[in-house]
Amino acid sequence: MTCRSIRHAASATALLIFVAAPTAQLGPGALLPTSASGAQEIVLSNGFRVLIVEDPRVPRVAASIWYRIGALQEPMGEHGITHFLEHAIHQGTTTVGTTNFDAERSVLAVIYETEQALIAEWNAQRNHLRERQIFFDELDWPKTPRMRELRQRLYELEDEVAQHREYWAEYLWYRRSGGLMRHTDPVPATTGNEY
């Protein structure tokens, strides 16, 4: 079975890739697979594995992609590779995801400097709030006129650098291989502040 025939089969029969959820959240009469064997499994020639669960009551197709890689699978002494690859996939490199990296480079330098100034202001505010034993960092964000000014500058710089970006380049291979994705779907890759 080719990628194209899988895509047409999924569209024609409204297949649903099913993620297990509590029955109570699905309502009465929900059809849940009793085990992993309740799913159809198709392995493509490149090793890509597709699990399909049909639910004819729902006229939609949902899909998720999972990669068998993470911090726990990294070789000893090579920590951080997964996180690096995550950002390379989602944010691009000097050759993937950009139309003109040389033009983009100068704007990226200003973005970096602006982000550093914003982080410094953020940390000053966070420390001030901690001294008062208030821990709602994102309440009324941004907190100061300087933070608002820096955030606005970042928005303007991001718009400027967007002229050279191919945000969906990393997904074109997926779509050409039969994957379906709306062009408006966000590409999340974030890290947060661990307290």
On the question of pLDDT at 113 being above 90, the answer is: yes
Kindly state whether residue 138 falls inside one of the protein's structural domains.
Answer: yes
- 135/10: higher pLDDT: 135
CA distance 172 to 193: 32
Kindly state whether residue 53 falls inside one of the protein's structural domains: no
Residue 72 maps to a domain: no
Torsion of CA 36, 38, 39, 41, to 10 degrees: 80
Give the separation between CA 147 and CA 159, rounded to whole angstroms. 18
**Which pLDDT band holds residue 148 (cuts at 50, 70, 90)?**
confident
Closest CA to 58 of 90, 13, 108, 2: 13
Strand partners, 50: 42
Choice between 175 and 28, residue whose per-residue pLDDT is larger? 175
Average pLDDT over residues 27-41: 54
Q: Two tokens at 144?
A: 């100061």
Q: Is 106 among the domain residues?
A: yes
Does some domain include residue 140?
yes
- Name the average pLDDT for the chain: 67
Which pLDDT does position 2 carry in this prediction?
41
Residue 123: predicted pLDDT: 83
Which domain covers residue 122, as residue numbers? Answer: 98-165
Q: Is residue 158 part of a domain?
A: yes
- Look at residue 68 and give its three-state secondary structure: coil
Residue 48 identity (one-letter amino acid): F
Question: Do the Cβ atoms of 62 and 16 come closer than 8 Å?
Answer: yes
107, 160 contact by CB (below 8 A): yes
Per-residue model confidence (pLDDT) at position 114: 92
Count of domains in the chain? 1
Measure the CA–CA gap between 123 and 138, rounded to whole angstroms.
Answer: 12
Asked if residue 62 belongs to a domain, the reply is: no
β-sheet bridge partners, residue 165: 98
- Tokens 């040389």 -> residue: 102
Confidence bin at 53 (pLDDT 50/70/90):
confident
Amino acid identity for residue 191 in this structure: T
